[in-house]
Structure 1
Amino acid sequence: MEIYTDVGGRPGLDCGGFCQFCFYKNVDFNRLKSLKIGCADCPPHQIGCEKCQALINRVENDFKPLPRVFMDLENKLMQNSWDALNRNLKVVIGAGADIFYYPHLKELVSVIKASYLPLHLGYTSGKAIKDESFTRELISLGLDELSFSVFSTDPELRRKWMRDRNPEEAVKSLKLFCENIEVNASVVVIPGVNDGKRLFQTGSDLEEWGVKTFVLRRFANFKNQGLILNDDRPILEGIKPHSYEEFQKLVRKVSDEFSFRVLAFPFYDPKKDFPFALLKKKNRRYLEELPSVKTEATVITSRLTAPFLKKFFELVDESDLVNVIGVDKEIADLITHEDLESIDLAEVRKDVVLPSGALVHDEQAQEIFSKDGVRRRIKRGPYVLTHPYYESVDFNTEELIEHELKSFKALIDKLNLPI
């Protein structure tokens, strides 16, 4: 079991400066407060609450004082005291920026490790590393696991694209970490920059050093890829990101080449062939355990998820009661009211199911879907449809299928639920 806390920090300021490819680089800070971001938890007649505004606060808030971080951890440890006493608990510390720039990092690690609990530090780019003494001290304090965004093991690529002032030291420290603790390395893959032979050289170096997991992250360049806080400019002019299918093919190739575990985001596990494993022919027998679809409805989802959901309802909805509409946004939980405005209401049935995490107030959705004079009912789907995967934990295939089965059952139950 894991407990998580966040030390805060501002992208671009508390991370050594924006990398050239950072998706926060074009955030339009002047219009953040005017964004009409709501969610399923917003109170009636109020667009915006603590939960959905956290998305905005995350790019504006400084690092948190150390006592505040300790207080949050103490509360969570008390809530999970039995697991803590039985050493069945891992502490994960993340940041809004780069964890290595947190000014109280060494004290934080020292206090947590005095409790003998395993400790995983979230994202770092390594740009804070000036020499190996910093790395050796964290290792000596007992750090167990680290997530490290490497981009490339070629120092010159890091210097140019990450704006790393000490790229040789960062790469040497990454090697040292890999040799002493568990490391989940990640790469934002940019076509023509760090893919191809350069990506496989990075993989080869990481394999030699003993990395635990290699995570490939598809570069997001445009607003429809989830950059909802940004202005309309691409992150990098002239760069066309891999398509989802191209990226999956690349991920499979990397996974076949190396012995370490490979994952991708948008989420894809090539070894276990997830997500949406229930739709594979070998697993379709599990679909017989699902309840029948009894209510006519339209399910709204993202462009990447729509093909999977359409296939799902082809398999379980014999009466063709449900249609699926995929908006242009690639990530369902980042759908906003602007995405809903683009939908042809002639295709929308009386019951509308939105993603649970869509950043739309229910009253916003109600207004948008009633513009043609038809009063439609707004429902929310389950929190996730496939497993909320973590790079530090390796779930077995049975656990993943069981989670998908529960999630799809929850979706059908939501569809059938009268309001």
Structure 2
Amino acid sequence: MDAVVDIGGRPGYNCGGFCSFCYFKGVKTVEPLGCKYCPPHKKGCDYCSRAVVEIQPGFKSLDQLVFEASQQCILSRPDSITIKGNGDASFHPDLLKLVQTLSNGVVPIHLDYTSGKGFFKGDEAGPLIEAGLRRISFSVFSTDPELRRRYVNDKHPEAALSNLRTFCERCDLYAMIVLIPGINDGFQLEKTCQDLCDMGAKGLMLMSFANSKEQGLIFGNEPLMPGIVPYSVEEIRRIATEINERYDMRVIGTPLWDPQTGAPFALAHHRKELNRLPAIERSATIITSSVAYPFLSTIFEEIGEDVNVVAVNKEIGNLITLEDFNFLDLGNIKERVLIPGMVLAHDQEIRRALRRDGVRRLVFRGPDALTVESERSIYMTTEEVIAREVEAFSGLICQINELGGEETESATVQKDRDNCSCERMDRSHYHENPIIVDEEDIKQTVG
């Protein structure tokens, strides 16, 4: 069992100020977009009004964090404890005490994110490691102090880099670099990669810089850096592959890709594993993001022709909004539609957007995630990633088989299979929020 402790905090306020490239920079008042947690007849809830932009009053106290951790560990001792938050953990006033208390010299601690800006002495890493810290994700940006000072808003870059070296030498450090053309790429990237290798970093995550609405800036805060044209996801994939081949550490790109596991959507690269999925019995359309589209299309073309995949002009599925549905061409959208579970739009408005051509489509939210993001797969084996995807895709296919359109020719044969994985699965997780709002819809679904 792995426990997660959320220390709270707020971007820009509990992190020493916004980085130049921070996703949340420039976000002002947020009008609720709607989401899966909203009531049927009201747009706006705590998630899409506050949590989605990571608004919290500040860091949680040490006592509260210890209590929350203890609640998770009542029945058994966890294998590890991950500390995460919306602020930068290096600024939490009781970070060392928290690590000491949670680990107690026994349980390994993982620090999910820090930029190191809260370290100003240069020797903070040692005590944290001695207290039980065993893995850390460190947003480096560059090992050039001046670049960190200018773009990371780091007041003490030399101290942060000193701690970076200690973390690399004494625990598992995974570095993160938001790659910005003309600033920390090219020679600067090569130097940073060599420095990380020399220090002993275990891995590197090359992260795409979002600077437009299509890339996910949906709160009216684009562009973050005017005049900068970010690397495309394909270019990030190419750079990550090249860096992975040249340096002695595991390198991934995000949102694409992990050269070792094939994530995200490793099943598109390990097609023999598709035999582990249930057969498709009914028809449906899956609406997805532009990044996921080629992979989902490949997978569903391989396992059946009755499910078609359609992309909107948004790179990340969970950041799809009502605007994306309104601009979508409905010409090849079937009467049963599945959308990513976490899209940021209200159910009623999605239904209207996808029926604006007069076709009474039924729309359902699918699983929250179908794959492992490459920034998470860097900690996993290929087998672990594939197992996670097989489980998620099996749930999606079972949802299609229960809620989809007219049965395929093989449906009758498939239903008679005693060992169908759909029959054995707990289906509660994918019926959480279907978009059914009136009796007509219910009758059509049952029919």
Structures share fold, TM-score greater than 0.5: yes
CA offset digits 1:61-105 (Å, max 9, x no partner): 311222222221111112xx33x1xxx511111121110111222
Out of 21, 32, 37, the position equivalent to 1:35 is 32
Q: Which residue of 2 aligns with 1:410?
A: 395
Q: Which residue of 2 aligns with 1:15?
A: 15
Offset at 1:141? 2.6
| 3-state SS, counterpart of residue 345 of structure 1 | coil
Output the amino acid matched with 2:40.
P
Out of 377, 380, 385, the position equivalent to 1:400 is 385
| 3-state SS, counterpart of residue 183 of structure 1 | strand
| 3-state SS, counterpart of residue 399 of structure 2 | helix
Distance 1:335 1:383 in 2: 13
Offset at 1:54? 5.1
| Cα distance change on mapping 1:138 and 1:278 into 2, 3 Å | closer
Q: Which residue of 2 aligns with 1:311?
A: 298
2:95 maps to 1:105: yes
Output the amino acid matched with 1:38.
C
Q: Which residue of 2 aligns with 1:356?
A: 341
Which stretch shifts more, 309-318 or 154-163?
309-318
2:259 maps to 1:263: no
2:268 maps to 1:279: yes
CA offset digits 1:225-248 (Å, max 9, x no partner): 1122343x3111111111111110
Offset at 1:383? 2.8
Distance 1:176 1:196 in 2: 26
Distance 2:293 2:370 in 1: 12
Offset at 1:215? 1.1
Q: Which residue of 2 aligns with 1:48?
A: 44
Q: Which residue of 2 aligns with 1:25?
A: 25
Offset at 1:50? 4.1
- Taking only the aligned residue pairs, the percentage that are identical comes to 39
After TM superposition, the structure 1 = structure 2 runs for residues 11-410 of structure 1, keeping only pairs within 5 Å, are 11-27=11-27, 29-30=28-29, 32=30, 34-39=31-36, 41-53=37-49, 55-56=51-52, 58-78=54-74, 81-82=75-76, 84=77, 88-114=78-104, 116-231=106-221, 233-280=222-269, 283-318=270-305, 321-387=306-372, 391=376, 394-410=379-395
Contact 2:203 2:378 (C-alpha < 8 Å) held by counterparts: no
Offset at 1:149? 0.5
| 3-state SS, counterpart of residue 331 of structure 2 | helix
Distance 2:219 2:203 in 1: 30
| 3-state SS, counterpart of residue 225 of structure 1 | coil
| Cα distance change on mapping 1:201 and 1:57 into 2, 3 Å | closer
Output the amino acid matched with 1:402.
A
Which stretch shifts more, 395-404 or 248-257?
395-404
Distance 2:181 2:373 in 1: 27
Contact 1:379 1:414 (C-alpha < 8 Å) held by counterparts: no
Contact 1:184 1:392 (C-alpha < 8 Å) held by counterparts: no
Contact 2:32 2:43 (C-alpha < 8 Å) held by counterparts: no
CA offset digits 1:334-381 (Å, max 9, x no partner): 112221111122332111111122122322221222222222111222
Offset at 1:220? 0.9
Where structure 2 has 5 or more consecutive residues not aligned to the other structure, the ranges are 404-444
Output the amino acid matched with 2:279.
S
| Cα distance change on mapping 1:399 and 1:258 into 2, 3 Å | same
Contact 1:215 1:391 (C-alpha < 8 Å) held by counterparts: no
Output the amino acid matched with 2:54.
R
Distance 1:229 1:113 in 2: 38
Distance 2:311 2:361 in 1: 18
Q: Give RMSD over aligned pairs.
A: 2.0
Q: TM-score, normalised by structure 1?
A: 0.90
Contact 1:213 1:391 (C-alpha < 8 Å) held by counterparts: no
| Cα distance change on mapping 1:406 and 1:112 into 2, 3 Å | closer
Output the amino acid matched with 1:412.
I
Distance 1:57 1:304 in 2: 22
Offset at 1:194? 0.6
Which stretch shifts more, 4-13 or 407-416?
407-416
Which stretch shifts more, 55-64 or 406-415?
55-64
Where structure 1 has 5 or more consecutive residues not aligned to the other structure, the ranges are none
Distance 1:363 1:370 in 2: 11
Number of aligned residue pairs = 404
Which stretch shifts more, 208-217 or 108-117?
108-117
